[in-house]
Amino acid sequence: MSEITCLLDVVDRAYNRKSWHGTNLRGSLRGVTLAGSVWRPAPNRHNIGELVVHAAYWKYIVWRRLAGGERGSFALEGSNFFERSDATNGRRWKTDVALLGRTHRELREAIANLSPRALDRRAPGGTVTYRELVAGIAAHDLYHAGQIQLIKRMYRS
């Protein structure tokens, strides 16, 4: 298995493929309703909807660094965290989940297009290598998958 193929496998297992460690990011969204997506575990804490868009944003950032995409080209205005609290906007919740899927596919394509020699290069304007970016986005997905699982449990209690 090539290193690129291995990295793609790690990124996919963290996002939507079966793996030994438990629920991945996409799986953590199973059963989340609109009401559950905007529920906050405490004041000034992020909800599931915000974590979904945050994960999409960081997939976009890694894609942009790998593919040389244009800065400021994310689908939404802003950066990092995006407020999601409207319990009447079911369309936006579905659109946000679709955005996460789309950014994952775009990221995957950028990873697949990397040359193995590029993995040790630093991304333009950054301090980490392309390999570290790819491994990091997989870890980021799993971190937020666990966070979402905890919020779901708190919401249902």
What token pair was written down for 116? 């193995």
d(CA 12, CA 123) in angstroms, rounded, equals 21
d(CA 85, CA 33) in angstroms, rounded, equals 13
Question: Among 33, 131, 136, which residue's Cα sits nearest to residue 89?
Answer: 33
Q: How many domains does the chain have?
A: 1
Question: How many CA atoms are closer than 13 Å to the CA of 144, on its beta-carbon side?
Answer: 26
pLDDT tens, position by position, 121-154: 998 878 999 999 999 999 999 999 999 999 999 9
What token pair was written down for 68? 């040389």
Instruction: Check residue 9 and give its pLDDT.
Output: 97
State pTM to two decimals.
0.95
CA dihedral for 9, 63, 98, 58, sign (positive or negative): positive
- The confidence band for 25, taking pLDDT boundaries of 50, 70 and 90, is very high
What token pair was written down for 32? 């989340």
Contact 61, 54 (CB under 8 A): no
Lowest mean pLDDT among 15-24, 66-75, 93-102, 111-120: 66-75
d(CA 84, CA 81) in angstroms, rounded, equals 9
**Amino acid letter, residue 141:** D
Domain of residue 139 covers: 3-156
140: domain CATH number is 1.20.120.450
